Copies of this chain bind each other. A is one copy, B any other.
Amino acid sequence: MVTIKDVARMAGVSVTTVSRALNGYSDINEKTRLHILNIASELDFTPSITARRLVKRESRSFGYIVSSIEPSSKHTIFQDTLAGVYKFSREIDYQILIFAVDPLLQQKKSYLQFVREHGVEGIIVQGIRTDDAYYAEVMNSKLPCVLIDIPAQNVHVGSVSIDNYTASRDAVAHLASLGHKNIACINGKDAAAVSVIRYQGYVSMIRELGLAVKTEYIVTADFNEDVAYVKVKELIEKCPEITALFCASDLMAIGALRAISDCGRKVPEDVAVFGFDDILISSYITPPLSTIRQDFSRMGYDAAQMLYEILNGNNVPHTKAVPYEIIIRESTTPSKNPYKNSL
């Protein structure tokens, strides 16, 4: 390993001078600087980030804390968000350390231990629920932190998400514009912040439309496809007058699609189905799903950026609503699916 010492020796200057030359200080003779740079590249010198970290007492690293990295997840949310986080981190030359709060990997370390031993400067948190122990730990520490999809903020905490409330209202309004009056809501779970907000959006638009909010039209399915299948089947049997479903996730919407089909109803003719997320499957399934598209890569990028600003004490809003898109496909509108004709 070639160190700064080797460069200094070869260049016939002190270590200090090499350090200054390499870090672009101005109080150095241009000739010496060039000379040192030459030697350094000749020797193929790369400074040790570890040594620099130790002396500067800054790690230039962020933690990316996720509830778990599922090996065979049905969506690419983790990977998309990470892509965004990675992109911004790279721009500011920060490193990302992943920390999965996975009960399966029996937790030897607490989140705080992890953060401290690596000297992580801030963290981005995703996929954690408000009733999670880690959530409290994060909120109570004073480490700069940006939450994705959890609307909490204080002096060191920010949050990034789409405007779930308005998006849900948009979805319900779309269903109503198609003539639907009996619109059910398939929600996730109460411990998920987004669930609550999407539910509120649903209720508010139902009311605004002059429709009644019926408790039997509202079920929760834990963001799970199979649970949704069961719950929607029950729902359709109990309330056959329902002609539209607003689902708080695509996965649940896909379960609903199956349930409706198994009840002998057709989508969208008998029952229209609206999802949330626009995961990959949604455009490939039959019928393709109308949904709210979330740009997780963008959310990751913006989260990392906000974290950087908070870290540097810059006065920026600690909350950010990333744009979303309402995607209309055949699960709510008359079909033009080319497959229909050929199969």
Contact = CB atoms under 8 A, between A and B. Distances in A.
A262 interface: yes
A118 B286 CA distance: 48
A72 B75 CA distance: 10
Interface stretch (A12-20, A77-85, A170-178, A237-245): A77-85
Contacts of A342: 261-262, 264-266
Interface string A83-124: 110110011000111101000010000000100111100000
Contacts of A76: 72-73, 76, 79
A97 B95 contact: yes
A155 interface: no
A313 interface: no
A297 B71 contact: yes
A82 B53 contact: no
Interface string A43-69: 000111111011001010000000001
Contact of A117 (B46, B82, B87): B46
How many subunits of this chain does the assembly comprise?
2
Nearest to A64: B98
Contacts of A70: 83
A316 interface: no
Given A69-B83, A73-B79, A266-B343, A48 B261 contact: no
A322 interface: no
A80 B84 contact: no
Bin the interface of chain A by size: 35 or more
B343 A287 contact: yes
A5 interface: no
Interface stretch (A25-33, A211-219, A277-285): A277-285
- Pick from A69, A78, A118 the residue with the most CB of B within 10 Å: A69
A86 B73 contact: no
A301 to B, nearest CB: 9
Contacts of A336: none
A143 to B, nearest CB: 13
Contacts of A84: 71
A84 B343 CA distance: 39
Given A71-B83, A262-B338, A280-B280, 14 more contacts: A46-B113, A48-B54, A69-B87, A70-B83, A71-B80, A72-B297, A76-B76, A86-B100, A254-B284, A264-B342, A284-B285, A285-B286, A286-B286, A287-B343
